[in-house]
Amino acid sequence: MSAPSNVAALQHPVDDAVLEALAVTQRGCDELLPQSEWIQKLARSRATGVPLRIKLGLDPTAPDIHVGHTVVLNKMRQLQDLGHTVIFLIGDFTSMIGDPSGRNSTRPPLTREQIEANAQTYYKQASLVLDPARTEIRYNSEWSDPLGARGMIQLASRYTVARMLERDDFDKRFKSNQPISVHEFLYPLMQGYDSVALKSDLELGGTDQKFNLLVGRALQSEYGQEPQCILTMPLLEGLDGVEKMSKSKNNYIGITEPANTMYAKIMSISDGLMWKYYTLLSFRSEAEIAALRREVEAGRNPRDAKDMLAKEITARFHSAAAAQAAEADFKNRAAGGVPDVIPELTLSGAPMGIGALLKAAQLAPSTTEALRLVEQAGVRVDGQVVSDRGLKLPAGTYVVQVGKRKFARVTLG
């Protein structure tokens, strides 16, 4: 996927401002390809005063965004603050195909109704990171729907099956005789065509999107455009520190979660993972982060650093006051106190067994799991540890606690 000859002719002076912009681009990134072309794009933009067009596409496959999604959004904001045009592309068309990236089986496509419902919240939530006044929002159905069958065939003629099978997940499935539907080949083609339609200079994505981003470069060359550079960002591990952050794995921090929950979840990550969160999620400078890390290595309590990160992230999506309140709530709970605000519900059926009560109050996923928590001394009623699996609570109001973070005020009738 070589660059056309006209890129080599783009010679503009590279000054300190360009090098600083390069450093901003590369902070926390996995790959910047090709770096030499990006430097020339930055230099040209500085020389001409014409901002670069920077594209990020997200398929609305779920109704909410978690902080793992904000890794690329943060990078977009950093580039936006340099004066470039950022394009937040909602993949309402590509969502109907289903992105097979990183999958070993066909992904069921979403319905139009699901896509429209999810898309309603996407940009609103992304605007908590991006500056809405300087963000171009687009939907790829704008140019993909009008293509029609004829246009789709013409687009498909510009890319070969052999090159499509260079993609790792397609290659593995082909060699292991697992099915690959023809429509899955359309996904990287359509994502690449988005770059043609938007004339993007840079496209961002997770490391699992590298192949798709490179298809965009190839198609831009096919259409006579200067090809985009690509910037891949690491996939952020979730709260377990192992798996990629995902709602399906329940290891996520949602950006619309209550402030107290968000703060507490960030405080629960490991000390080692904290530094990756700092690099990818914090707006502090790399010098500040490095200095803080040296202080921790010299003996400062890592909890202090984690508290600073938790308050920064919570304040970004709520407010500074909410972050301070969340910190106070967390410390209160850590000391054995009860949060000021907890869920309240009324249940009928007194007397009720502790296992059934925990399940009904959604403090445990099942009665079996509830009883396991009792056995592990992880359940308290009105501050007292429950040790009897057979406990039955009579009518009344109780503060029920599971672990350190889950509370409910339950009235039994």
Residue-wise pLDDT for 115-158, tens only, equals: 877 877 888 888 888 988 889 989 999 999 999 999 989 998 99
| Residue 307 token pair | 């508290």
List, in order, residues 6 or more apart from 26 with CB less than 8 Å away. 32
Per-residue pLDDT, 115: 80
Domain closes at, from 334, 367, 383: 334
Domain closes at, from 302, 334, 366: 334
> Residue 380: enclosing H or E segment and its boundaries?
strand 379-381
Q: How far, in Å, CA of 136 to CA of 53, rounded?
A: 10
Mapping DSSP to helix (H, G, I), strand (E, B) and coil, where does residue 2 land?
coil
> Residue 304: enclosing H or E segment and its boundaries?
helix 302-317
List, in order, residues 6 or more apart from 237 with CB less than 8 Å away. 243, 244, 245, 251, 273, 276
335 Rama sector, left if φ>0, alpha if ψ -120 to 50, beta otherwise: alpha
| CATH assignment of the domain containing 265 | 1.10.240
22 and 157 fall within a common domain: yes
> For residue 255, is it within any domain?
no
177 and 313 fall within a common domain: no
Residue type, 298: A
Domain closes at, from 276, 299, 334: 334
Q: Which of 26-30, 102-106, 238-242, 278-282 has the lowest mean pLDDT?
A: 102-106
Q: How far, in Å, CA of 255 to CA of 68, rounded?
A: 10
69 and 111 fall within a common domain: yes
Q: How confident is the model at residue 100 (pLDDT cuts 50, 70, 90)?
A: low
What dihedral angle (degrees, nearest 10) is formed by the CA atoms of 325, 331, 337, 338? 40
> Is the pLDDT assigned to residue 61 strictly greater than 80?
no
> For residue 330, is it within any domain?
yes
Higher pLDDT, 248 or 216: 216
> For residue 197, is it within any domain?
yes
- Show the domain range for 325: 260-334
171 and 94 fall within a common domain: yes
| CATH assignment of the domain containing 125 | 3.40.50.620
173 and 316 fall within a common domain: no
Query: Could you give the percent of the chain with pLDDT greater than 90?
Result: 50
> Is the pLDDT assigned to residue 65 strictly greater than 80?
yes
> For residue 33, is it within any domain?
yes
228 and 302 fall within a common domain: no
Chain segment 347-374, per-residue pLDDT in tens: 988 889 999 999 999 999 999 998 988 8
Burial class from Cβ neighbours inside 10 Å (0-12, 13-18, 19+) for residue 379 reads buried
> For residue 154, is it within any domain?
yes
Per-residue pLDDT, 5: 39
Q: How far, in Å, CA of 234 to CA of 206, rounded?
A: 6
Mapping DSSP to helix (H, G, I), strand (E, B) and coil, where does residue 366 land?
coil
> For residue 243, is it within any domain?
no
325 and 355 fall within a common domain: no
127 and 205 fall within a common domain: yes
Phi–psi pair at 172, nearest 5 degrees: -65, -45
185 and 303 fall within a common domain: no
Chain segment 169-187, per-residue pLDDT in tens: 787 888 888 888 887 888 8
- pTM for the whole structure: 0.72
Cis preceding-peptide flag for 34 (omega within 30 of 0): yes
Which range in 76-85, 95-104, 235-244, 401-410 is most confidently predicted, on average pLDDT?
A: 76-85
| CATH assignment of the domain containing 366 | 3.10.290.10
Q: What mean pLDDT do residues 371-400 have? A: 83
Count the domains in the chain.
Answer: 3
> For residue 84, is it within any domain?
yes
Per-residue pLDDT, 108: 62
> Is the pLDDT assigned to residue 2 strictly greater than 60?
no
Per-residue pLDDT, 34: 96
> For residue 240, is it within any domain?
no
218 and 148 fall within a common domain: yes
Chain segment 320-352, per-residue pLDDT in tens: 999 999 998 888 777 667 777 788 888 988 889
If you search the block for the tokens 């090098």, which residue do you land on? Answer: 19
228 and 363 fall within a common domain: no
Q: What mean pLDDT do residues 263-292 have? A: 93
214 and 348 fall within a common domain: no
CB 228 within 8 A of CB 200: yes
Q: How far, in Å, CA of 193 to CA of 329, rounded?
A: 49
Q: Are strands 396-402 and 406-412 parallel, antiparallel or unpaired?
A: antiparallel
Nearest to 266 by CA among 300, 288, 236: 236
